[in-house]
Amino acid sequence: MTQEEYKIYIDGVIRRVEEARLKVSPHHIVKIVAVSKYVDSEAIKRLYEIGQRAFGENRVQDLRAKTAELEALPLEWHFIGNLQKNKINNLLDIDPFLFQALDSIELAKELQKRLEKRDMTLDTLLQINSAKEETKHGFMPEIAKEAYLQIQEECPNINLKGVMSIGAHTDEKEIIKQSFETTFKIYEELPNATICSMGMSNDFELAIACGSNMVRLGSIMFNR
């Protein structure tokens, strides 16, 4: 694909997001985070040249390599993957725009300790395992609100901005929808939450219809 063809292709993706959000409300703004975990820095640069600024990675090592390689570009980096305790310092060195996957109280406490030591804060989303899948990380929906409030109370350097969830892993649209509705319901009850991150390449229109205001698009943005 030439760069011109790529731009036309991406315009098509953006149009789909536009149509989905306008069905909710003209005031419902949806942000696209391009998940670049499958591609190299060259591909990120191509998408940047079309106008994309927010990118997401799910491994700290990859995030570190790509932020270094693309240092000259004004990009906004999201960390969307599971964070192991022994990688916290590496993530904080990078100081991402948003950490989307806080998935346990234990991790929150460790993160708070390191943040405090560095005298920094980190914008963060609580990950919710809305479909209650064993293979997924995140808080169970029943305890998510309580955990959110506890972290807000006990971890002042973690700046909670909302929630993130991955839709149910199934082809059944109704089940995926239910998982998004579960996440949105929790989101609505949280004090000062402004970000509801849900929706990926295969289900972003449904996620937006259920209230998502941040979609994490990987394969569809890089045409894979």
* Binding footprint of ligand PLP on the chain (CB under 6 A): 35, 37, 58, 80, 166, 200-202, 216-220
Distance CA 55, CA 77 (A): 5
Ranked by CB distance to ligand PLP, the top (closest) residue is 218
Phi/psi for 173 (5° steps) reads -60, -40
**Strand locations in 66-167 (E):** 76-79, 98-102, 122-128, 158-165
What does residue 216 show for φ and ψ, rounded to 5 degrees?
-110, 100
Tokens of 64: 């570190």
Nearer of residues 89 and 202 to ligand PLP, judged by Cβ: 202
Q: At its nearest, how many Å lie between ligand PLP and the CB of residue 35?
A: 4
Tracing tokens 């995030």 back to the chain, one arrives at 63
Are 102 and 126 in contact by the 8 Å Cβ rule? The answer is: yes
Return the number of the residue (9 or 118) whose C-beta is nearest ligand PLP: 9
Q: Which of 37/118 has CB closer to ligand PLP?
A: 37
Residue with Cβ nearer ligand PLP (76 or 116):
76
Residue 58 or 129 with smaller CB distance to ligand PLP: 58
Minimum Å gap between C-beta 12 and ligand PLP is 15
Q: How far is the CB of 121 from ligand PLP (least distance, A)?
A: 23
Give the nearest distance from C-beta 156 to ligand PLP in angstroms: 26
User: How many other CB atoms are found less than 10 A from the CB of residue 142?
Assistant: 9
* Contact assessment for residue 210 and residue 184, using Cβ atoms and an 8 Å cutoff: yes
DSSP state of 87: G
**Please, what is the minimum distance in Å from the beta carbon of residue 53 to ligand PLP?**
17
Is the sign of the CA dihedral 185, 187, 191, 194 positive or negative? Answer: negative
